[in-house]
Amino acid sequence: MRNQISNGGKLLRTLAVGVCVSVIGLLAATFILSMLVHHERVSVNGINYGTLFILMISALLGSCAAIKSYGEKRVCIGALAGLIYGVVLLGITALFFGGRYRGVTVTLFLVLGMGAVSGLLAINGNGGNKRKHKFKINR
């Protein structure tokens, strides 16, 4: 019983770390994109593509942080971190844009998909085979 409780606490901490990394990455990358637009390095038409790229990268970073922190059930942890990050983005949208959810479904699917993809990429993330091979050179 105690082990199950500690695993639940570990899962919540892991998901919180993943979401925090995602949000911090989102804020940092959005600041960089706004500076690039301000200094006219990126055109105003490129904001949409930049925003989608930022969402993908921040979801990937947060899911990878959660997966690394938890260590097992990687696809589920990545998808859960992506889902919670999507819910946080939905809450931010409701807070700042008055509940106008136009285009949020694409964002939610993108974030959830990147979370699952990070889990799939990390399936073999432990370095694979731990056995060390010794090669002999015959002369």
Straight-line distance from the first to the last Cα atom of the chain, in angstroms, rounded to the nearest whole number: 60
Geometric angle at alpha carbon 59, from 86 and 48, rounded to 5°: 80
List the single range of 4-13, 100-109, 130-139 with lowest mean pLDDT. Answer: 130-139
Torsion of CA 102, 80, 118, 113, to 10 degrees: -30
pLDDT of residue 128: 44
* Contact (Cβ atoms closer than 8 angstroms) between residue 120 and residue 75: yes
Q: What is the mean pLDDT of the chain?
A: 80
Share of the chain above pLDDT 70, in %: 81
Quick check: 31 pLDDT over 80?
A: yes
Q: Can you give the pLDDT at residue 14?
A: 86
| In the predicted structure, residue 32 carries a pLDDT above the cut 90 | yes
Separation between Cα atoms, residue 103 and residue 13, nearest integer Å: 30
Q: Provide the whole-model pTM.
A: 0.75
Confidence of residue 29 (pLDDT cuts 50, 70, 90): very high
pLDDT in tens, 103-117: 778 888 888 888 888
- 6 against 87, higher pLDDT: 87
- Cα–Cα distance, 75 to 60 (Å, whole number): 12
- pLDDT tens for residues 66-109? 888 887 778 888 888 888 888 888 888 888 877 677 777 888 88
